[in-house]
Amino acid sequence: MKTRLIIIGLLVTSIAFGQVINIQGGTSFSKLNWQISDMNVNPYNKPLIGYSLFAGIDYFDKKFLNVSSNFGLIRKGGKEEINVIFENPEPNGSVFKKTSTLDYFSINTLFDFKYLINDKILPFISFGPRFEYLISYSNDFNILKTSNHLNRSSFGIILGGGLKYQFSNILIGIRSDYYVNFSNIAKWSNTSNQVKVSDKTFTTSLSIGYKLENKK
Give residue 53's pLDDT. 98
pLDDT of 99 above 80? yes
pLDDT of 17 above 60? no
Boundaries of every domain in the chain: 2-211
The CATH number assigned to the domain with range 2-211 reads: 2.40.160.20
pLDDT digit string (tens) for 178-207? 999 999 998 877 666 777 889 999 999 999
CA 110 to CA 9: how far, in whole Å?
Answer: 15
Which has more confidence, 16 or 52?
52
